[in-house]
Structures are given as structure tokens and as C-alpha cells.
A and B are shown apart, each in its own frame.
Chain A
Amino acid sequence: PSGGSKENSLPVDFGLINGDNVEQLKKINQACFPVTYNANFYDEIAKKPDENLCKFAYWNGFAVGAICTRLEPIPDNPGRNRLYIMTLGVLAAYRNHGIGSKLVSSTLDYIIESETEGKASTVDEVMLHVQSSNTDAINFYVEKFGFEKGELVENYYKRIDPPHCYVLRKKLR
């Protein structure tokens, strides 16, 4: 199934995730993913709200999707960081309207546009893990956003089947 064509796309607004509305993020993630994220995951996001890294997508007054990313240092490259996408989810009823794409685009644009200033300017690449059976997601990142399918990591997940995942990467700078 293709992502939203132009006629089908829903115009969404973005919004900050903070301690007052982080429950909505939980609801979205619970509805979208087979894994459960622990309380720590949400606490970290709620503690330091940053709309550039974690945001909701709103349609008709509802939060219908969310993206959560964080900056991590690249291990062998001191001073350089990567953007790690932790979760990207859109409620089932609202899929295929281009909302997921918009969430990813706006985050990538933020990184790309901060060329010289701020911590975003230290980001050289984007990375995420995708469950090995999730071909839709893999195609989404590879075909739409030019990610590269990297190595298979075995037994990455504890309670789902298959427990393996692929690393997807995209170099920005």
C-alpha cells in the first residue's frame, strides 16, 4: 500500500510532547507497536520537551501520530552525533495519508537546516532499528527517504517474534 498520494494527504499540525500530555504518546505507541516501552522511556521524553526531536501530529484536534527521536554520540567519532529514531507511529485509522512521512520529513529538515549552529549541526546521520519482518516500514524509509538497509541484529527484541531487526541508516553530512 502506498503512502498518501497528494489528494489523499491530511494536513496535520505538530505539537510538543511534555509531562502534561505524554499519556497520549503512550496510547499511540500501545496502539501501534507490539513492544511495550517502560515508564523510563516516557519519563525521559517528558522531562526535556523538545518539539524538534519529539512531536505529535494533530488532525481535527486529536493527536493521531508521533515521532520520538534522540541525539546520541557516534561511538568512533567524538564530537559527532547521530539522530536515533526511537518510535514513529500513526494510529491505524489515519494511515496512508502521508502523516508518517510528514513527521519524518519535518524532523530531518530540522537537522539539515541547522547547518552551523546548535546541537543539531553536529548530527551526521540518522539511524533506527526495524523488526526484520516489517517490510512496510523498511520500504518506507528506504524508498521514501533514501535510507540504507544495514546489518541484521539478532535477538534485539525480547518478547516478539521474530526477535531480530535490521539497522537502517542515512548519512546527512
Chain B
Amino acid sequence: MSVLQIQMRDLTGFRETRLKILTLRPNNKVHWLSYALAVHVCGDPEAALEVLDNYMNTLGENSEEFKRGFESSELALYKNKVLSETTCSQDGDDDFDKLLGVKKAWKHLDEIAHVIVDQTGWLQAKLSYQLQLGMFDDAVETCQFLFKRGSTEDHRVHSAYMCALLNLNRETWSEVEKLTGTATLATFRPLLDKEREVLLKAYGVTPSTTNGSSPDLISADDDTTTEECLAVAFPKSAAIKRIYLTLLPPSSAEFLLAIDKYCRRQIVKGVPSLGSDLSSLYLMEDESQESEKRLILARDPVDIKSHPVYCMLVELVESYICSLTKQSTFPNDSIEHPPSVLLWSWYLRSILHEQAAEYADGITLINKCIDHTPTGVDFYELKARLLEAGGDIQRAADVVDSGRDLDHQDRYINNLTTKTLLRAGRDDEARKRISMFTRHEGNPEQNLYDMQCAWYELELADSLAKKGKLGMSLRKYMAVIKHYEDFHEDQFDFHAYCIRKVTLRSYCDLLKFEDEIWGQPIYCRAAENIIKIYLGLFDAPTKSPSNDEPDYSKMTPAERKKAKNIARKKKKALEKKVGDSEGGVIYDTSKSPEDNGSKKKKPHAVDIDPEGKELLALNPLEESQKFASILINYAPRRITSWVLYYDVSVRRGKMLMGLKALHRMKSIDSTHHDLFARIVDFSQKLESRTTKCHAASEEVISSEFPKLLDDKSLPDFIKSTLDSVKSNPLSSLPMKIVLAKALISSNMATKSDCVSLILDSKLNGRSVTMTTCRDALEFMDSLGKDAITGKGELIQLIMAKFPFAKDF
């Protein structure tokens, strides 16, 4: 029962049950640990600590627990973790010190050192405590020790090293500690000059190129450093070389030299991912943050084109191409390089074109690459990407397929081909391709389902939705939902297993992971699309043929009675089926061959509703509401969660909830076009509605909503937004479209004004993609014949930006 309780997160129940079990069987280690964990998970680290101490007191002197071993190591580190979370003194003093637990845990590490097997974990814990307690010199030492042990590629250790060198406070460390991947302090916030100096010294730098030749990070006989810098100590570390690039100020000569050296090395080696790697250097200050300065990556071509690092790279690579074409050498160098070096330089230049949305130029170069070495799969991949972004998804699919044909054993390019074919709406071809890598017995889609291949199901679902096959599309999205429900279920076995194996730290992480699983991006994408489909069905219900009631007027009374009976039975069966189904996906569980009475239901999914008719028959608003609630609870920082929550709420007539959604959207991104559109919508709904809400809700609405309009009237709000959009030539295209729609719907501007609004910046603003351009075209169409010349102009502009686009 306790396992069920923790599975369901009935934490107090779990704690009670585990206590009962412990009192009944106090000789069993597992019960002690379970109880301690139960107390910990209930949020009471002090009590959990007591339990662990009591357990240790029951052990004899020669117990295994006091000797070095895996289980004793894990238990000791778990105890240490719990200790670090305590905040009150165990003696019951009111000594509330947030760092009390951390201080104790830090001391405790030395006490347990002799039983520890996971040295890295021990060191990482020590490092974290040292940084929290401001013991910066010790932290520096710990980092250096970790590097020597081989953690040079772990960017979190690098972040810690930076925080220690710069003596940064606890708050900064706790934010930086959460960074993932290759993010470090240097990519998180702008560095001050004096900070750069300190870090560059530690990482290795030539203050000036004294000998003028190809610069090394630091010359071996440089006497100015007393201790070895990282670049010299770990010359083979790729991470140190990359991080070094992020430490230099982009406008400096050193940066140009460093990036030149970095690029040359990677091009000679022939690293296809160089372009993507370098794009992590397009850091710019986050304008939406007013108080704390933060860095974000430039993603929009408009921002990339104007980025100093990008411009530097373009010049650099052009110089390589020039020099290599003439004499097979890099600029100012005498070594002759093989033909592949020019090839990879072209490739990099083509990627730089792609980043700046210069698709025609990119294609010219990648064609050169393909003529040069037609056996290179990477080139077909890039060409396909350029074609797709440039507007011709069909040709893109053909190109990536021909690349795939060069190497039938390459799963990556096969997957990419499948994805591109799905985006081109060629579902059958896509299935044939992906089938080359599925198990050869049985239905390939069933195999993909068993393998929980969510990317395929999402792309297929998108494709089906575009074709209007909403039922089938819903089935595929629901399959992804089901995978996540299975992931959540799968923790069941670990409750007992982890305690038995004493891997308690990982177990705590697992519980946390499972708690937050409904906020994972793939789940959110599935849920968001499900909501969109259901809302579409709510707004424009299609008559589903299976639920059509037969025409009773044409029947005899006997026939009518019979027909009604059949209809009633059908409806009952439908309700029962949907009730039995797990997450809306319906299985025929009677055929399950693996059903051996285990606790978990693992149905052998025989698809008895491939067209999703049952899903279509569900109440669209209820289903949308279900998923919208999950999204705002588990993914509250995704703006789309709140956008859809708003859409669902206003259709349900819940104006106050809609207002809450608007408010949250604003706190995430106040300039987002979806927010603006919905503020206008809300205002218009307030005017036009016939029934009012509850009095208290009305009060809140009337006091809070005006703030969203900046205390202006709706026309003034729209006008001020219009002014700010007009004054910024880089305003995003989606924003212009929603603004134009608002102007029309509130009769504030003529159709030709709206046409000019969209055409004025000549599509040189942000967020100009094929998708947003099609939205703009749709809008032009909606304006009717007054906008025909405008539409023509727009098409010209689109074709200039997207030279491969065809069907208008």
C-alpha cells in the first residue's frame, strides 16, 4: 500500500504507513530507510535526519555501514544531502539560519569521507557548499582538483570555478548552478572588464601577441603566471577552448585571433557542426529584463545579421575561401591543405548564409560543395534545410531523400528524411523510410509506438491536422500523451528498488522529475496541439457521420423504435469505451498476450480506432480545459500555456480566468503578439457580452484589466501600440498582422492603411518565416478586392526573401 501511496504522492499517508511498517519490523534496513525518506519527502529534513541517526544507532560496531562500500557511500551522501536542507537547529532553538544546514553538511563531508565511493559526487557537494558559504579559495582548489580528475568537460564545474574566482554571492551561484548543457556564467550574464581579466588569467591568455606569429593560448615559457592556467594544464580539453572564446570581449583583437585559430582547427579536422557551435557566441543582452542583466542567444536572422561576432565570422570565412582557392593555404600561412579544407570553408559559409536567411546565396555555395564531393551526406542535409526555409518543402524532401540514399545505414539521415517528408505532407513515403529501421515483423507504426518514438508521432500528427484529418491527428497526439503517462507509471518499480539498492539521491531526483514531467516540452507540444484541434472543433463543429442520427421521419414506427435502440446502445458503448481507455487511446486488452496479472496494465495495443472517431466525439471544450489546466500548472513559464488557457476560458465564459491568463502572459513577455491580440479580444468581449459575472469577479476585472490597457481606452491602446510598432522598423511580422486585424475590427483604420502597415518595412523585421508570411497573405485575402495590389506587392516581397517558394 505504501508503494501505491508514494506513486500517488499521498505523502502524509505514505509517511504514516511507513512508520507503521517500521514499528512492526524494526530489524529491516529497508524499512528504516523508507521511513526516513518518507519523512524527508514530506518536507521535514530535521525529522528525517533523526530517523537516520536512530537507524545508525541500532547498528553494531562492526556493521557494514561503517565501512567503505557502495551502499554505505550512498546512504552517507543521502544523509549529507538531507542535512544540507535543514534550517533549524535540532536542539529546538529558534536559530533560523538558512545556511545552518549547509554549514553542518560541509563539516559532515569530512566525517563520511572514508566510506565514500562516489568521489565526484562528494566533491561536487563540497564545491556547492563552499560556494554557498563564501569559501572561495577552497572552492577554487576543489574545482582544480575536479579538473585534474577529469571533469574538464563538465560546464557546471566551469561555472562554479568562475563563481569562485569572482567571489560571487550565493544567489548568483544558485541561479548558475541550474544552467544546463554548455551554458556557463559567461553565457548567462555580461561580464565586467575586471571580471574578464580574472577569468582570462585563470583560463589562459596572451595579453598581447609578442612574437607576431600564429598565437598560442599562452607561451610555455611565459614567466608571468606562477600557477598553470587551465589551457596549459589541459591542452586536450575542447570545453576549455570553447569557454575561452566566451570570456574574451568580442570587439577585441584577441577574440579575432582566438576565433580564427578555433575555426581553422575545426575546418582542417572537418567538423560539420562548427557553424552550429559558433552560433552559441551570438550572445546579446536580453532587452525584456530591466533589472538584472541577462544574455540570450540571437536567433532571428535580423538579430544575427547585425551581430558583431557574425559579421566577424563572415569576413573571416570569406578570407579563408579566397586564400584557399588561390593557393590552398589559409591567409598569412604557408601550409598547403588538402581539398577538403576549402570544402568545409564553403560549407561553413553556406551555414552563415542560412543563419542570416540568405537562402539563395546559401544554395549556390552548397551546390558547389555537392559538385566538389557528391558523396557527402552532410551537404544534402544542409541543402534540404535551405530549401525548406527558403520556401520549397517538396524539393527539400527530395534532396534529403537523395542524401539518405547514399548511406542506407545512417539512421540519422533516415530520420531527417522521414521528418521532412512528413512536413511535406508525404505520409506514406515517410512511413516507408522510417520502416527501414523498425523491426521487420508487424506494423511499423505499432513498432514506433512501442519504442515511444514521439518525434515521429508529433510530426505525423501535425501533417494529418494540416490535411484536416483531425481524428487521426488527435490519435497521434494522444499517443504521445500516453507515452508520458507511461513514463509516469514506470516509476512504480523504482520505489522498492531504489530503497533496496540505497540509491536514495537519484531516487529523490526521480521523484522530482516525475512530479514535473507534465511540463516537458514534448508533452506540452502534444497537449497544445490537442487543445488547438478541440478549440477548432468547438468553434466550427463538423458533423461526424458515425454519430448521425438516422432520419426518423422516413421510418415506420417499428423501424424508428429499432433505430433508436441501436443509437442508444451505441452511445452507451462509446461512453463506456472512453471511460475505460487510458488517456483516450483505446486498446483491445482482451488480446494481451503479456497479461500475467502484474500490477501494471500493459495492454498490447491493437488499434481499434485508427481514425480517432471516439476522440472526435468527446466534448471539445472539456478536453481542452483538461489539458489547459495541466499546462498552466506544470509549464507556467511557457507563454503558449497561458495563451491557450485564455482561449479555453473565454469560450467557457470564465472572464476572470481569462484575465488571469493575460496577466501571466504579460509577466512572461509583454511585447508578445498573442498577448496583444487577446487584450483586444478581451476588451471587445467585455463590451459585447450580454451576461455579467459574479460581483466579486466583476470588481476584479474592472480594477485589473485597465492596467493591461495601460489605463487607456481600447482605441488609444491600439493607437499607442501602433505608434511603437511603426517607429521600430524591426517590429515582428506577426505583431503587425494582429495589429492590423485589431485596427479593422475596431474600425480605426482603412484597409489600405492596414496594407501599408504590413508592407512598409518590406518584410525586414523580425519573425519573417514562410509560416508568418502565409498568415500575412491570408490576412490580405480577408480584406478582399481592396487589397489585391497589396497582396501582389506582398507576394513580390515574399519571393525576394524566400526564393524557392511556389504555391500562392
Contact = CB atoms under 8 A, between A and B. Distances in A.
B375 interface: yes
A119 interface: no
A140 B595 CA distance: 70
A31 B371 CA distance: 8
Interface string B312-352: 00000000000000000000000000111001000000000
Contacts of B406: 21, 23-24, 27
B376 A62 contact: yes
Nearest to B379: A62
B653 interface: no
Contacts of A91: 372-375
B408 A59 contact: no
B405 interface: yes
Most chain-B Cβ atoms within 10 A of its Cβ — which of A21, A27, A31, A62? A62
Contacts of A31: 371, 374
Interface SS of chain A: mixed
Interface in A46-105: 59-64, 91-94, 97
Nearest to A30: B374
B408 A27 contact: no
A62 B373 contact: yes
B338 A27 contact: no
Interface string B389-413: 0000000000000000111110000
A20 B409 contact: yes
B408 A28 contact: no
A10 interface: yes
A62 to B, nearest CB: 5
A20 B408 CA distance: 5
A19 interface: yes
B372 A21 contact: no
A19 B343 CA distance: 27
Contacts of B374: 27-28, 30-31, 91
B173 to A, nearest CB: 42
B26 interface: no
Interface string B408-431: 110000000000000000000000
B207 interface: no
Nearest to B343: A93
Nearest to B410: A20
B270 interface: yes
A94 B338 CA distance: 8
Interface string B361-384: 000000000011111100000000
B407 A94 contact: no
Given A31-B374, A91-B374, A61 B270 contact: yes
Contact of A62 (B340, B371, B405): B340
Contacts of B371: 31
B64 to A, nearest CB: 52
B374 to A, nearest CB: 4
Given A62-B340, A94-B339, A21 B407 contact: yes
Contacts of B372: 91-93
Contacts of A30: 374
Contact of A63 (B338, B375, B408, B409): B375
A24 B407 contact: yes
A28 B375 contact: yes
A16 to B, nearest CB: 12
A170 to B, nearest CB: 29
B contacts with A: majority SS? loop
Interface in A95-127: 97
Contacts of A97: 338
A94 B375 CA distance: 13
A66 B167 CA distance: 60
In this complex, the member of B338, B339, B343, B408 whose beta carbon has the largest number of chain A beta carbons within 10 angstroms is B339
A24 B406 CA distance: 5
A59 B341 CA distance: 11
Nearest to A92: B372
6 contacts: A21-B409, A23-B407, A24-B406, A28-B375, A91-B373, A93-B343
Question: What are the nearest 4 A-B pairs in CB distance?
Answer: A20-B408, A27-B374, A93-B339, A60-B340
Interface string B618-661: 00000000000000000000000000000000000000000000
A64 B406 CA distance: 13
Contacts of B373: 62, 64, 91, 93
Contact of B408 (A10, A19, A60, A62): A19
A27 B343 CA distance: 17
B717 to A, nearest CB: 58
A115 B535 CA distance: 78
A60 B376 CA distance: 10
A30 B406 CA distance: 14
B339 A27 contact: no
Interface string A2-33: 00000000100000000111011001101100
A128 to B, nearest CB: 23
Contacts of B375: 24, 27-28, 62-64, 91
A21 B408 contact: yes
Nearest to B409: A20
Nearest to B344: A60
Contacts of B409: 20-21
Given A91-B372, A91-B373, A59 B340 contact: yes
A62 B409 CA distance: 15
Nearest to A19: B408
Given A21-B408, A24-B407, 5 more contacts: A23-B406, A30-B374, A62-B375, A63-B375, A94-B339
Nearest to A27: B374
A21 B410 CA distance: 10
A94 B408 CA distance: 25
Contacts of A61: 270
Given A27-B374, A27-B375, A93-B372, A60 B405 contact: no
Nearest to A96: B339
A31 B338 CA distance: 19
Contacts of B339: 93-94
A41 to B, nearest CB: 17
**B343, B375, B409, most chain A CB atoms within 10 A:** B375
A89 B103 CA distance: 71
Given A24-B375, A64-B373, A59 B338 contact: yes
Nearest to B405: A23
A39 to B, nearest CB: 13
Nearest to B374: A27
A149 to B, nearest CB: 31
A24 B379 CA distance: 13
Contacts of B338: 10, 59-60, 94, 97
Contacts of B376: 62
A118 to B, nearest CB: 28
Interface string B241-277: 0000000000000000000000000000010000000
B369 to A, nearest CB: 10
Contacts of B343: 93
Nearest to B339: A93
Nearest to B370: A27
B270, B340, B373, B405 pick with most chain A CB within 10 angstroms: B373
